[in-house]
């Protein structure tokens, strides 16, 4: 495969947070791959288009990923998407796979990255600003100080074990699981004091920031992030 695949992180939502390297990679790509059914539905594409409007003239390939917990279904889909992308690489094309946030943090791109490398192809990740860093900046809250630990947790999976973790907890993509997370934090707050922050659609026009466990809302969207910090006090 003479072409190369780039997994390009475009940041959480604010077009001004796209790195110069990511912009240069997008502009130099022959093909843009989007993990969505249509480019109008792709957050990453809309973010990039705000700062690089001429990408609308580029060839765009939409390859939606299934939202499933079935491992075999996911593996089959990832294999099929990888074959599509490798066909472009075999034709010596430069492919930029756009992903929101950073391609190394819970990104669908990582599944394709590993497969292309495993098949002897060339693939490279282009770092983007992670949503939890942008959210902490928007809240003016430090994620960690001195010897504090940081734990990044996918909220779509089990969250109860997070109660035993010290320091700062970050729950990614919490939208549909906020009700469960809220109950867990309410129970935990009976024994220790917590500072809880929530940011929905960080860096986008409809960004929403709230504080307090009581503010967690089941109606929040998929791109909802929750930051939980210990205050160091027991109740």
- Domain positions in the chain are 4-126, 131-234
Give, in words, the CATH class of 131-234: alpha beta
Question: Would you say residue 235 has pLDDT above 50?
Answer: no
Edge-to-edge strands, sheet with 31-34: 59-62, 31-34, 94-99, 4-9, 122-126
Name the average pLDDT for the chain: 91
Q: How far apart are CA 161 and CA 206, in angstroms?
A: 31
pLDDT 10s digits, 39-73:
999 999 999 999 999 899 999 999 999 887 889 99
pLDDT 10s digits, 179-199:
888 988 999 998 889 999 999
CATH fold for domain 4-126: Cobalt-precorrin-4 Transmethylase; domain 1 (3.40.1010)
The pTM is what? 0.90
pLDDT 10s digits, 136-185:
999 999 999 888 999 999 887 766 677 778 899 999 987 777 888 898 89
Cβ atoms of 92 and 31 within 8 Å: the answer is no
């Amino acid at each position: 495969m003479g072409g190369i695949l780039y997994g390009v992180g475009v940041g959480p939502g604010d077009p001004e947070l796209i790195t110069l390297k990511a912009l240069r990679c997008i502009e130099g790509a022959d093909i843009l791959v989007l993990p969505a059914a249509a480019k109008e539905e792709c957050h990453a594409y809309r973010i990039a288009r705000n700062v690089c409007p001429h990408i609308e003239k580029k060839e765009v390939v939409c390859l939606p990923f299934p939202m499933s917990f079935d491992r075999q279904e996911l593996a089959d889909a990832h294999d099929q998407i990888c074959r599509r992308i490798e066909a472009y690489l075999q034709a010596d094309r430069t492919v930029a796979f756009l992903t929101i946030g950073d391609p190394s943090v819970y990104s669908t791109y990582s599944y394709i990255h590993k497969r292309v490398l495993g098949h002897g192809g060339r693939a490279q990740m282009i770092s983007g600003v992670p949503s939890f860093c942008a959210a902490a900046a928007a809240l003016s809250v430090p994620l960690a100080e001195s010897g504090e630990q940081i734990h990044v947790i996918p909220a779509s999976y089990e969250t109860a074990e997070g109660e035993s973790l010290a320091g700062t907890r970050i729950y990614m993509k919490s939208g549909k699981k906020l009700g469960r997370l809220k109950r867990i934090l309410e129970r935990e707050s009976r024994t220790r004091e917590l500072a809880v922050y929530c940011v929905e659609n960080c860096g986008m026009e409809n960004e929403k920031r709230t504080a307090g466990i009581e503010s967690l809302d089941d109606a929040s969207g998929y791109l909802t992030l929750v930051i939980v910090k210990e205050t160091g006090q027991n109740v």
